Structure 1
Amino acid sequence: MKRIKFVSALVVVITGCLFLTTWFLPTVAANKDNNNQPARSFTVKAVIPHNQTDKKLTYYDLQVHPQQKQTLKMVVTNLGTKKLKVDLNINNAYTSQNGIISYDKSYVHLYKAQQPALSDLVQGKRHKNIVIDPQQSRTVKFTYQAPKTSFQGIILGGITASAAVGNSKKKNLTIQNRIRYVTGVVLRSQTHTVNPHLTLGPNVRSQSRNMQSGLNFELRNAQPINLSKMKLRVRITPKTKNMPLRQLNNMQMAPNSTWQVFVPYKKLTAGTYVLHLNVKEKPGWEQNFTRKFTITKSQENTLSKESSARNWPILTWILLIVVLGVVLVIGYLLWVYLQGSKHN
């Protein structure tokens, strides 16, 4: 009889622990009503003005004249069944560490720019908050004034619109979802073509990023033109043997920006190396760079420690705690059972 009670208690404990595991697992809120209509969802649409260079584009690509003043209009529509707060920002373009053009930073310093940044041309607030009723639309306006003189290339920025669409629950761990849209803003003045030209920063060094070891160097774009679909071919030659060839595809760079390039390499021991870098963006344009660099023993040790460090996510710790709890409870019940058996 006691054996049956022990087994029953064990089943109850394991079932309870499994329930707790499910309870603490992060869940993505479906955020929908019973009629499958999303509670919070929205869209944005740029109102294309008369000076748009190509009416087929869904972002602003504008031909401007010196000191021209213009208001950009964007229609934000709440598609959901609840009121929605939307944050809008008009920012400069920059090159992120991942090698894409981004617009989410409120302050971006341009690299060797001969023309003003878009943020310097905006008149009034660059950040706006609006609340939209369900199934309604609102028009948001940003006003800018073009530079005093004509300029080469482009001035590039973007309008980001974001809103929280996830449900928050007190009794359950829920991931907070956000929807973000980016609408590019391109200002043009002179019509002649600006050719890309990159330079390589002075420092080439070993680095650890996202628990990966690799090589870091800086590419600099001082030209007022963006680069897209870039292909980087990276080759390292030490004294003894060639390292594996690395290739990065579909990379981007914003005008007048820098990019901290990271190339994964598993083993970068102390020694002297030569970096061979080839960059291509389109047929007929490419650049080659060669740079000698040294990795010290101290840098090698630091890189090894950073790469091997384990940074487990919170979910892993929760599961470990639950499993440990199961083991302790089973051990305790087993001890109680054995103690009871001794007295019989």
Structure 2
Amino acid sequence: MENKKNVRFSLILFTLCSFFFAVTANEVSAESSKGLNFSYENVIPKNQISDNSYFELKVKPGDKQTLVTKLTNESDKEVVVQVSVSNATTSSSGIINYGANKEKLVGKNNLSINDMIEFPTQVKLKAHETKDLKFKLNIPKKEFEGLILGGIELKELEKSDDKKAETGASLKNEYSYVYSVSLKENEEVVTPEFTSSGTDYEQGAFTTINNEKSLIASKVKIETTLMGKETDKVINTFKVEDYRFAPNSTLVLPLNGTEELPIGDYRTKTTLTMNDQNWTFEGAFKVSKENQKKKDVFIDETPEEKKVNWLIIVLVVTSFIGLTVGIFYLLNRKKRD
């Protein structure tokens, strides 16, 4: 009789664990299948200056050229691809981004790649169709200095039953292909130059640094010292290193931990180091009652999908613990019998 109870207990425990693991397996499978229904391949031109699969070109003033990216629909249904071209930007963590954006370039010689490239904003692909996406490149007649760096982003659209766009399609998901386009005319070395737009405060302090030249700034170290307005006493020091700047871009650097600063006036001293050269910037900001009120407003931006994933993880861990305890119980029971 006791053995029957043990068998019944084991079957129930095994069934529950199998159910939870099945749910988890389905969730993982769904995640892995959430890719894009199309692929791309760049046709590398003769003026490519590297072995990379993205476009890295040496051009001449007044050049006209067509860049080609082959798009292939890998599915059994029509696919609409949204195409965008943007200037490269610098993220707050010191990484160069090539995705779609509307950030303005800084510096004097700040030619935008958007002014040089003509392209279709959408491409329709029939089931299993391959089509050439063409970018018409028009280089200015006046020679430019340094490097022009941008990115091409390809996103999949799908038909939407509600709130259709003018094209009858909407963004499907956040998955996309992104690759860079870089243009240069000569090998002349560009002298780096950095400026600062100062330090400000909005739910935390941040300092803004501009790469004024058309070059990629690499291995950059930044150290910011935070002090009171009328004292040299250091409240905190913030250090980052191995940062990279896109040409003619702006870095908005958050000073982590300043969200809890008391109301008052503060100043900063920032030193940027690159290739044994230093640039120093002074800044000042004020923490007001309005800032404190904004800080207290919390918005939960956690996607629903991620919440479900956490639930699945908890269920898996719980079922695993239950299975372990059950086996341990049965083994001890068997020994006592």
TM (norm. structure 2) is 0.68
Which runs of no fewer than 5 residues in structure 2 stay unpaired? 1-26, 163-170, 308-337
Look up the match of 2:248. 256
Structure 1 residues 279 and 105, CA gap change in structure 2 (3 angstroms): same
- Alpha-carbon distance in 2 for matches of 1:90, 1:312: 31
SS at match of 1:302: helix
| Matched residue, 2:235 | 243
CA distance in 2, matches of 1:91, 1:155: 11
Q: For 1:314 and 1:190, how far apart are their aligned partners in 2? A: 47
Match of 2:291 in 1: 303
- 1:195-242 per-residue CA deviation (whole Å, 9 max, x = no partner) reads 3211112x322221xxxxx21222112201122453322221332742
CA shift, 1:39, in A, is 8.4
Equivalent position of 2:328 in the other structure: none
After TM superposition, the structure 1 stretch with the greater mean CA deviation from structure 2, 70-79 or 304-313, is: 304-313
Counterpart check, 1:65 vs 2:56: no
Of residues 47, 50, 61, the one that matches 2:46 is: 50
Map of 2:278 onto structure 1: 287
Aligned partner letter, 2:288 = E
Secondary structure at the counterpart of residue 304 of structure 1: helix
Alignment of 1:187 with 2:188, yes or no, is: no
- Return the offset for 1:75: 1.3
Q: In the alignment, is the contact (CA less than 8 A) between 2:98 and 2:179 conserved in 1?
A: no
Partner amino acid for 1:94? Answer: T
Q: How does 1:194-209 map to 2 (within 5 A)?
A: 194-201=190-197, 203-208=198-203
Establish whether residue 93 from structure 1 lines up as the match of residue 88 from structure 2.
Answer: yes
Deviation of the 1:307 alpha carbon: 1.6
The one-letter code of the counterpart of 1:46 is N
Secondary structure at the counterpart of residue 80 of structure 1: coil
8 Å contact kept, 2:68–2:133: yes
1:256 shift after superposition: 1.7
Q: Distance in 1 between matches of 2:35 and 2:247?
A: 39
SS in 2 for 1:195: coil
**Which SS does the other structure have where 1:148 is aligned?**
coil
Aligned length: 268
- For residue 279 of structure 1, report the CA deviation from its aligned partner: 2.5
**Structure 1, unaligned runs of 5 or more:** 1-26, 170-174, 209-213, 320-344
Aligned-residue identity in percent: 24
Between the aligned partners of 1:39 and 1:29, the Cα distance in structure 2 is 11
- What is aligned with 1:5? none
Q: 1:186 to 1:167 in 2, by over 3 A?
A: same
Contact 1:41 1:165 in 2 (8 A): no
Q: 1:29 & 1:308 partners in 2: Cα distance?
A: 39
The separation in 2 between residues aligned to 1:314 and 1:111, in whole angstroms, is 34
TM-score after normalising by structure 1: 0.66
Letter in 2 for 1:308: D
Q: Is the 8 A contact 2:227 2:236 kept in 1?
A: no
| Distance change >3 Å, CA 285–CA 47, structure 1 → 2 | farther
The answer to whether the Cα contact below 8 Å between 2:100 and 2:153 also exists between their aligned partners in 1 is no
How many Å apart are 1:286 and its aligned residue? 4.1
Alpha carbons 1:29, 1:167 under 8 Å: kept: no
Equivalent pair of 1:76/1:139 in contact (CA under 8 Å): yes
User: Following the alignment from structure 1 to structure 2, what is the Cα–Cα distance between the partners of residues 149 and 314?
Assistant: 48
SS at match of 1:194: coil
Query: Is the 1:276–1:291 contact (alpha carbons within 8 Å) kept by the matching residues of 2?
Result: yes
Shift of 1:253: 2.3
Question: Conserved in 1, the CA contact under 8 Å of 2:194 and 2:279?
Answer: no
CA positional deviation for 1:108? 4.7
Contact 2:152 2:181 in 1 (8 A): yes
Cα separation, partners in 2 of 1:144 and 1:40, compared to 1, 3 Å: closer
Question: 1: distance between equivalents of 2:189 and 2:114?
Answer: 24
SS at the partner of 2:269? strand
Task: Verify: 1:121 aligned to 2:116, yes or no.
Answer: yes
One-letter identity of the residue aligned with 1:301: K
Distance in 2 between the 1:277 and 1:207 partners?
A: 19
Q: Which amino acid aligns with 2:151?
A: G
TM-aligned CA distance change 1:247 to 1:44, over 3 Å: farther
- In structure 2, distance between residues paired with 1:87 and 1:289: 42
| SS in structure 2 at match of 1:244 | strand
Residues 251 and 42 (structure 1), Cα distance of their counterparts in 2 relative to 1, 3 Å cut? farther
Aligned CA distance change for structure 1 residues 128 and 121 (closer, same or farther; 3 Å): same
